[in-house]
Structure 1
């Protein structure tokens, strides 16, 4: 029996883990223990995802949230190490690029426990992004690297990782597995009423929300899109809401509370366009054939830029407005099966067994 210890802590990781955990449950020779760091602590950003996605409730739940990156990562590292010493797993499984990802990988590596990294090899080539540091370090600490795309494999090859004892696999993207699997359940789970005449937006990344100039510019841009292009629906992250209020900004769009994964898929399926600074939402828009405008200076999903499905506008109010105006209602195709077609989780579990 192989003992897998999974570390998750943020919304995108819950979604990724849901499909891999389902595949693990079908493998009789793997036992999985899940640790939730508590990085996302709002009920709508955490518990609801476990309920909707059918992820086994975490055996271990920490309460590490808030504080600076170093404080958060350090507190996680201490508590994850204690859990690993108690559980004694054969391997630690981490996802993505959050502080939870790095803390899980570092705690395991210090105890000489092998680490597998799902979503390895992504690079924005911007070391100002905390996520970029987390990605690079986690890839260095991992011995098995599951890459979602060929470009991610190439990034690791360019860094010389494939010439070490590490094992690099192109697994496909588990986010596409989740989108395809759960979208089949949308009609029976939630209402699909409404004409879909809206733009879906998300805004939460620290590089935008913690920079007063960038946040003000993006708020103005979203207001212009809402007024002159199409109504903007924005599930607002609690932290973003506080920062907007603190800065005295007026966000004149249709604000809703953070939503569960099924509701988000429904919004993605019905909307006319996606505006986001999220990494995962860029891909989810693509999975539903929607054009995306990304409010960041760089993205790790370069292939979506290359095929014209996604456009970077930074925090420029005018560029955001013009891009939204030109891409509203545009349909994008997945001609090259960029992300594996929904089989990534099975490939990952097969390699874990090997």
Structure 2
């Protein structure tokens, strides 16, 4: 097996940290972990910050995606943005001082992404941002702050699409550091496709909608969440809905006394959060997806499933310009769903390099970096 060694340290392969924190990170890191393990170009250290810390939100995903038990678990847990960020920085700094990685790969846009990137750079380490360059241009979103700050200090930008490249160029990033590798979430989908399809009930009709909600703008106020719940109840009279409820959303539904309305609606199936395979089996079968998630905008575009995103903007505009995604205000949810269900003009296109081979390209590029 060919190894890339640290400069001046004979017989010691380079150490690369792969950071995971929240469930979307796991889908991005798992194919990269497999590709780098197969390539044998470095030592890997899987660092779990603990931002999603319960078994339902992280443990089951690790097992399903074939990731090993993390080498380091920072056990940060929940808290305010400041508390989470500070906790990750303090704990990750200690881990890096104990053994310094040569490269740190941070995926996505959660608090841990930014916190680990800042910590690594202050220690003089090199950082790769996986899924770099995405922009909603909405600084009221914590994720946008995380994206912008991470890209401002990263050394290498692995981007999923041409619009992300353009964003980084406008921000003055070095052209040679911008490397479009494609959408690594699609790698996970294709790797797991046979298991997802096996989890689908034979002959089940695609006559239901799938709902996911978790963003503060949609669930943290009585007015916003009430408007969505009312629309879902009305929509469920014409289209059955399955609603895996995020813990944050479940808490708000109970606090605002709205869970009863969902439970009483015969057309709405309220269920606990699902593991990746069971959740994607439902996505595969859905006639329509209603969400405020980022990743689902990409997966539905790839699968050709109409997606209604309850947000005024998206950091993934390519899913709107070429895909099946539509940005919709809460007040327009019912009308938008009816249009999506009756529109038979086409299912959109799949962006370039969303082909299930993104991790291979990332591993190849990292091999080039390590050999320099």
Coarse TM-score class (shorter-chain normalised): over 0.9
Q: Tell me the equivalent position of 1:238.
A: 247
Q: CA deviation at 1:205?
A: 1.1
Q: Is the 8 A contact 1:198 1:272 kept in 2?
A: yes
Please report the TM-score for the alignment, with normalisation by the length of structure 2: 0.90
In structure 1, distance between residues paired with 2:189 and 2:348? 14
Q: Secondary structure of 2:77's partner?
A: coil
Q: Tell me whether 1:264 sits opposite 2:273 in the alignment.
A: no
In structure 2, distance between residues paired with 1:21 and 1:247? 42
In structure 1, distance between residues paired with 2:63 and 2:343? 33
Please report the TM-score for the alignment, with normalisation by the length of structure 1: 0.94
In structure 1, distance between residues paired with 2:118 and 2:319? 31
Among candidates 154, 179, 183, match of residue 173 of structure 1:
183
Matching of residues 76-91 of structure 1 within 5 Å: 76-91=88-103
Matching of residues 41-190 of structure 1 within 5 Å: 41-162=53-174, 167-188=177-198
Q: Tell me the equivalent position of 1:288.
A: 303
Q: Tell me the equivalent position of 1:326.
A: 339
Q: CA deviation at 1:63?
A: 2.1
Q: CA RMSD in A?
A: 1.7
Q: Tell me whether 1:194 sits opposite 2:197 in the alignment.
A: no
Q: CA deviation at 1:208?
A: 1.5
- Unaligned 5+ segments in structure 1 are none
In structure 2, distance between residues paired with 1:28 and 1:310? 38
Q: CA deviation at 1:39?
A: 1.1
Q: Secondary structure of 1:122's partner?
A: coil
Q: CA deviation at 1:62?
A: 2.3
Q: CA deviation at 1:44?
A: 1.8
Among candidates 343, 358, 364, match of residue 344 of structure 1:
358
In structure 1, distance between residues paired with 2:285 and 2:343? 13
Of 182-191 and 69-78, more deviation after overlay is shown by: 182-191
Deviations 1:173-205 (A, max 9, x none): 001111122113324456556323210110111
Q: CA deviation at 1:2?
A: 1.9
In structure 1, distance between residues paired with 2:17 and 2:342? 43
Q: CA deviation at 1:93?
A: 0.6
Q: CA deviation at 1:237?
A: 0.8
In structure 1, distance between residues paired with 2:173 and 2:150? 12
Q: CA deviation at 1:84?
A: 1.0
Q: Is the 8 A contact 1:77 1:107 kept in 2?
A: yes
Q: Secondary structure of 2:204's partner?
A: coil
Q: Is the 8 A contact 2:210 2:289 kept in 1?
A: yes
Q: Secondary structure of 1:351's partner?
A: helix
Of 280-289 and 245-254, more deviation after overlay is shown by: 245-254
Of 204-213 and 332-341, more deviation after overlay is shown by: 332-341
Larger Rg computed on CA atoms: 2
Q: CA deviation at 1:307?
A: 2.8
Among candidates 297, 304, 311, match of residue 312 of structure 2:
297
Q: Tell me whether 1:212 sits opposite 2:227 in the alignment.
A: no
Q: Is the 8 A contact 1:179 1:287 kept in 2?
A: no
Q: CA deviation at 1:28?
A: 1.4
Q: Is the 8 A contact 1:273 1:329 kept in 2?
A: no
Distance 1:113 1:206, change over 3 A: same
Q: Secondary structure of 1:184's partner?
A: helix
Q: Is the 8 A contact 1:124 1:300 kept in 2?
A: yes
Deviations 1:5-42 (A, max 9, x none): 11111010011111111101111121110111111123
In structure 2, distance between residues paired with 1:273 and 1:53? 25
Q: CA deviation at 1:255?
A: 0.6
Q: CA deviation at 1:353?
A: 1.1
